[in-house]
Amino acid sequence: MKTRILFLSLLILIFCISCFADFSVSKWKFRKEIFVKGNTGDIAELQIDTEILSNSRPDLADLRIISENGREIPYIISLKKEIKKTVEYHPVMLNKSFIPGSHMLVEFDMGSQRVLHNCLVLNISASNYIRWVEVKGKNNGKWYTLTTSGFIFNHSIPDAGVSASSTRIPYPLTDFRYIRVIIHGGFLDVQGATLLKEDFIPSQEIRYAAVVKKTGESKDGKAIEYVIDTGVSGLPHYRLEIQTDQKNFHRRVVISPCRDISNPSQNQIQYEGTIYSFHTEEYSESSKSVVYPESNTRYLKIFLYHYDDRPLTVKNFNLYGIVRKLSFPVSALEGESGVFLYYGNNDANYPVYDFARYQPHLKNPNVLMCTTGNQENNKLFRTSPFERFEKNKRLLLGVVMAVVAIILGFFIVKNIRGIIRKAEKQ
């Protein structure tokens, strides 16, 4: 009994040690040396490149920074997404008039409180329109032009389930109390407006090379179907840009991320968007990108609808992902001759470091930029028994079936011989 308890305790101890000893160099497939530019900073920052992204877990939980002496260095990963802070104001509509054959004019009053604003969003009850818009402002007396290149539109095809619109008009930051909106091209039922103060920092993006793998017409003849290939799985992408030199179009786009283009059952998720380009003497406006929830699939199926128009001539497709950066404390490098980034372990757990808790409290830290060397195969990497089984399971299954067949054959032959002997005795 004591022996069994001792054996069980030993197993539990080994299990606990294996849980806490997360990093074992033999479990990681790849590594890159990290080079820090300078040594007088607070934080070192490294952009995670496509080679690391495509050879790591999708959630990057297997990244480890290890010094030459085998010490694990804490880090955090940040996504350089866009940062937008918006304050809304709801002005009173003072006047609304329409001059047939010319324009309509709408005026708004922000009230006596002076506030900053740099964007106007119109509330319009209408569909299928395109308009050029001017915006002016004043406090007293003279009107000052804020923008002459405003552009609003609505495009709806109820039978096809298509609806896209934009009534947002940006302009330089101002504190004008009165806002005048001049809409050229015909009457629209403007029911109100929202003024915004937007503080915007755009996202940092990385562009991936994408190759058109397949092109063809859709079954209904209303769209051109494209299949584009990033070359590898694991690259996180969220924005598709369609390059074309054509002008004056408005097209529906349907995007379907897929890992295996030969398996239709994997292509069920679809996202919709709109691209357009309008160029006239009065205004010029275009948007040729579609944003969708981030995906890391290798392939994208794209349906570019033309309905009864001629298909667009597409020059190229570009895929964009949000930059991911890895940050770690420079102080952790003291006394270390070299530092490496290890990755490529599907069984790794996401690390938890104190650095993630106190890093946000650092005020204006001095950031040192890092670069990496070439990707190296980890010479100490050893495939786990489970991975070896996964790779050789067909061979092992064949061997097991052969052994089972031999054993069954032996018992069958033995039983037949026994039956024959009994029959001879009788």
Convert the pLDDT of each residue in 283-300 to its tens digit. 788 999 999 999 999 999
pLDDT grade, residue 423 (50/70/90)? Answer: low
- Give the gyration radius of the chain's Cα atoms: 32
Comparing 208 with 13, which gets the higher pLDDT? 208
H-helix or E-strand spanning residue 7: helix 2-20
Full-model pTM = 0.74
Q: What is the distance between the alpha carbons of residues 178 and 106, in angstroms, rounded to a whole number?
A: 11
Mean pLDDT in residue range 232-243 = 94
The set of residues, in sequence order, having a beta carbon less than 8 Å from that of 202 and lying 6+ positions away, is 82
Q: What is the pLDDT of residue 2?
A: 41
Q: What is the pLDDT of residue 146?
A: 97
> Does residue 20 register a pLDDT over 70?
no
Q: What is the pLDDT of residue 5?
A: 37
Report which of 153, 148, 146 is spatially closest to residue 167, judged by C-alpha positions: 153
| Mean confidence (pLDDT) of the chain | 87
Mean pLDDT in residue range 169-174 = 96
pLDDT grade, residue 175 (50/70/90)? Answer: very high
Q: What is the distance between the alpha carbons of residues 312 and 306, in angstroms, rounded to a whole number?
A: 7
> Does residue 337 register a pLDDT over 90?
no
What digits encode the pLDDT tens for the residues 115-155?
Answer: 999 999 999 999 899 999 999 999 988 999 999 999 999 98
**What CA–CA distances, in Å, run from 350 to 23, 59, 63, 344?**
11, 9, 8, 13
Q: What is the pLDDT of residue 395?
A: 66
> Does residue 197 register a pLDDT over 50?
yes
Mean pLDDT in residue range 32-52 = 93
**In this prediction, what percent of the chain has a pLDDT beyond 90?**
64
> Does residue 172 register a pLDDT over 90?
yes
pLDDT grade, residue 19 (50/70/90)? Answer: very low
Structural domains in the chain, sorted by start: 23-80+328-377 (no CATH), 84-201 (2.60.120.260), 205-322 (2.60.120.260)
Mean pLDDT in residue range 16-31 = 70
Lowest mean pLDDT among 54-63, 208-217, 410-419: 410-419
> Does residue 178 register a pLDDT over 50?
yes
Comparing 9 with 79, which gets the higher pLDDT? 79
Opening angle at CA 208, ends 314 and 221, nearest 5: 30
Mean pLDDT in residue range 72-76 = 95
101 alpha-carbon distance from chain centroid: 46
* CB-based contact 333:65 (threshold 8 Å): no
Q: Is 311 left (phi over 0), alpha (psi -120 to 50) or beta?
A: beta
Q: What is the distance between the alpha carbons of residues 19 and 346, in angstroms, rounded to a whole number?
A: 15
pLDDT grade, residue 7 (50/70/90)? Answer: very low
pLDDT grade, residue 279 (50/70/90)? Answer: confident
Q: What is the pLDDT of residue 208?
A: 93
Report which of 264, 266, 253 is spatially closest to residue 292, judged by C-alpha positions: 253
Q: What is the distance between the alpha carbons of residues 122 and 193, in angstroms, rounded to a whole number?
A: 4
The set of residues, in sequence order, having a beta carbon less than 8 Å from that of 155 and lying 6+ positions away, is 128, 162, 163, 164, 165, 250, 274, 276
Q: Is 38 left (phi over 0), alpha (psi -120 to 50) or beta?
A: left
Mean pLDDT in residue range 101-107 = 93
- Which three-class secondary structure state does DSSP give residue 363? coil
> Does residue 12 register a pLDDT over 60?
no
Q: What sections of 21-132 are H helices per DSSP?
A: 50-54
What digits encode the pLDDT tens for the residues 313-324?
Answer: 999 999 999 999
Q: What is the pLDDT of residue 15?
A: 38
Q: What is the pLDDT of residue 163?
A: 80
pLDDT grade, residue 267 (50/70/90)? Answer: low
> Does residue 420 register a pLDDT over 70?
yes
Longest dimension (CA), the chain: 127
Q: What is the distance between the alpha carbons of residues 341 and 32, in angstroms, rounded to a whole number?
A: 5
Comparing 94 with 394, which gets the higher pLDDT? 94
* CB-based contact 132:186 (threshold 8 Å): no
Mean pLDDT in residue range 259-271 = 77
Mean pLDDT in residue range 366-383 = 92
The set of residues, in sequence order, having a beta carbon less than 8 Å from that of 262 and lying 6+ positions away, is none
Mean pLDDT in residue range 51-78 = 94
Mean pLDDT in residue range 69-89 = 92
